[in-house]
Amino acid sequence: MRRQGPPSEIGRLAAPIARLLDGAWQRMHWWIGAMALLYLLSGITIVKPDEAAVILRWGRLVGETPALQEHGSGLLFAFPEPIDKVVRVQVKKVSEVSVGALIASPDEEEEEGDSSSLSPLQGYAITGDHNIVQVDMVARYRIREPAEWAFYSPDSETILSVEVTAAMVRSLGEMGVDRVLADGRKDLIAKAARRAQAGLDAARSGLELTSLELTRLTPPQALTSDFDAVQSAFIGAETRKKEAQAFAEGVVPQSRAAADQEVQEAHAAADTDLAQARGDAAAFLALDKQYRANPAVVRERLYRDAVDQAIGGAGNVRWVPPPPGGNYKGFRITISGGSKSGSPEISGDDQR
């Protein structure tokens, strides 16, 4: 049998501590068990109906897919911290943030006062036709992907402001200032919202931009008078343009009606002249046919008709027969204006 040596100095010093711990355990072991149980139960989380929750275990998301990573309303069982960290996200809450990177702050505007120059410290954007505008916006958003928002996203308002500002600057650079300040705001907001959402998705922010509102879209204060002058000139030009259009709308139909009337009258005159020409041609052809059949009779009739037509309006008429034998060479009838009787004089180279 091996003989035990004297107790060591360490054992002698630790004996009181061991007896103290043993006595404490005998008296408080149930308290320690209760505390351990409470620690384990601290991992139970109540997720509200308007919330979703994700679990970070040692800093990593629990779950392989977004469906497994996100937990709906109800009781959620997880390990207590520091093993697991439960992040609750209000997915139905719509928050808003003011985006004023493209406009001067109130303090800067007061400092500038009535200055005619634009300070480089003021925010602004350049339009597609190289004009300067200032934009103040309010962006409303909600958390669409709780897992991405909890694990990847930095400060929500910061990333949202950056993406909205970048999208607005790019969209303004594609539009002219006249359209931006007049009827192009709706298109501008739509383009900027689409681009901002694409940027938020690329950054895996988990945010959804629900609306974008322009609370102010104006030229800089230092350039307001110049923009007003341009706008007045533009309005004047549009007014004159509308007046010209109204005048044209009244004159053009009248001119077209007059032209149509002239065309119709010309067609009618052409039809009348054509009918008369055809009648004259038909009469001439008929006369020619008769002349070929009986030249002497037709010649006599034509002569009489011509004489009747020539002296039909005379007061005193004396009939002068034609030269015998049809010899009309040198034959002339002269009506003397100084003769009291108004009798014609007959002369000719060969009278028989």
pLDDT digit string (tens) for 303-315?
888 877 776 666 6
C-alpha 103/C-alpha 137 separation (Å) is 9
Per-residue HEC secondary structure of the chain comes to: CCCCCCCCHHHHHHHHHHHHHHHHHHHHHHHHHHHHHHHHHCCEEEECCCEEEEEEECCEECCCCHHHHCECCEEEECCCCCCEEEEEEECCCCEEEEEEEECCCHHHHHHHCCCCCCCCCCCCEECCCCCEEEEEEEEEEEECCHHHHHHCCCCHHHHHHHHHHHHHHHHHCCCCHHHHHCCCHHHHHHHHHHHHHHHHHHCCCCEEEEEEEEEEEECCHHHHHHHHHHHHHHHHHHHHHHHHHHHHHHHHHHHHHHHHHHHHHHHHHHHHHHHHHHHHHHHHHHHHHHHHHCHHHHHHHHHHHHHHHHHCCCCCCCCCCCCHHHCCCCCEEEECCCCCCCCEEEECCCCC
| Better pLDDT: 11 or 57 | 57
User: What does residue 175 show for φ and ψ, rounded to 5 degrees?
Assistant: -130, 150
Q: Which of 11-20, 43-52, 184-193, 332-341 has the lowest mean pLDDT?
A: 332-341
C-alpha 130/C-alpha 132 separation (Å) is 7
Tell me the domains of the chain and their CATH numbers.
23-58+74-89 (no CATH), 95-105+120-219 (3.30.479.30), 295-347 (no CATH)
Contact 50, 91 (CB under 8 A): yes
Place 339 in a pLDDT band, splitting at 50, 70 and 90: very low
| Better pLDDT: 292 or 74 | 292
- State residue 269's pLDDT score: 92
The bridge status of strand 125-126 relative to strand 132-143 is antiparallel
| Alpha-carbon torsion angle 54, 57, 60, 64, nearest 10 | -60
- State residue 167's pLDDT score: 95
| Better pLDDT: 47 or 187 | 187
What does the block give as tokens for 235?
């309005």
Over residues 120-135, the pLDDT tens digits come to 567 888 898 888 889 9
Q: Which of 71-85, 103-117, 217-231, 316-330 has the lowest mean pLDDT?
A: 103-117
**Is the pLDDT score of 22 beyond 80?**
no
**Is the pLDDT score of 28 beyond 70?**
no
C-alpha 252/C-alpha 254 separation (Å) is 5
Any idea what the Cα angle at residue 63 is, between residues 57 and 67, rounded to 5°? 135
| Better pLDDT: 13 or 255 | 255
Tell which residue, 133, 233, 208, has the closest CA to residue 176. 133
Place 1 in a pLDDT band, splitting at 50, 70 and 90: very low
Any idea what the Cα angle at residue 158 is, between residues 156 and 164, rounded to 5°? 95
What letter represents residue 34's amino acid?
A
| Better pLDDT: 6 or 128 | 128
Contact 290, 282 (CB under 8 A): no
What letter represents residue 65's amino acid?
T
| Better pLDDT: 116 or 159 | 159
CA 215 to the chain's CA centroid: 21
**Is the pLDDT score of 194 beyond 90?**
yes
Looking at residues 147-171, what average pLDDT do you find? 86
What does the mean pLDDT of the chain come to?
78
**Is the pLDDT score of 60 beyond 80?**
no
- State residue 352's pLDDT score: 39
Q: Which of 189-193, 207-211, 235-239 has the lowest mean pLDDT?
A: 235-239
**Is the pLDDT score of 338 beyond 60?**
no
**Is the pLDDT score of 168 beyond 90?**
yes
Tell which residue, 131, 128, 153, 158, has the closest CA to residue 143. 153
**Is the pLDDT score of 185 beyond 70?**
yes
Looking at residues 166-177, what average pLDDT do you find? 92
C-alpha 193/C-alpha 164 separation (Å) is 7
Instruction: Give 155's strand partners.
Output: none
Any idea what the Cα angle at residue 210 is, between residues 209 and 215, rounded to 5°? 90
- State residue 328's pLDDT score: 62
Tell which residue, 197, 223, 231, has the closest CA to residue 126. 223
- State residue 252's pLDDT score: 85
**Is the pLDDT score of 280 beyond 80?**
yes
Looking at residues 291-309, what average pLDDT do you find? 83
